[in-house]
Amino acid sequence: MSREQELLTQFSQKADTIQADYKKLIAGYVSSKGARPPYEELLDILKKMDAELTKSGVAMVEQYQSDGVVNIGTFITDIKNKIASTIEQFVKTL
């Protein structure tokens, strides 16, 4: 497995873990309140999740750059796509 693929796999696992944590947060809210959080709170949760995913993605890009890679465009695109798909999957579960 290439270094790029290894880091993408690590990021994918991290993104799935972050998504699972936020699903637990929503589930906890629903079990205690009997309903989903209000729209504004859901937006805040999505913003926090996006920020956490982006922070992790940036860390992966920096780690990949530290390996001396010159062209990282595809890697960055793959990270962005994983962030977008993770958020989309999360929204669909709401």
Distance between CA atoms of residues 69 and 83, nearest Å: 22
Nearest alpha carbon to residue 11 among 49, 62, 53: 53
Prediction pTM value? 0.90
CB neighbourhood size of 56 (10 A): 19
Q: Per residue in 16-72, pLDDT tens?
A: 999 999 999 999 999 999 999 999 999 999 999 999 999 999 999 998 888 877 678
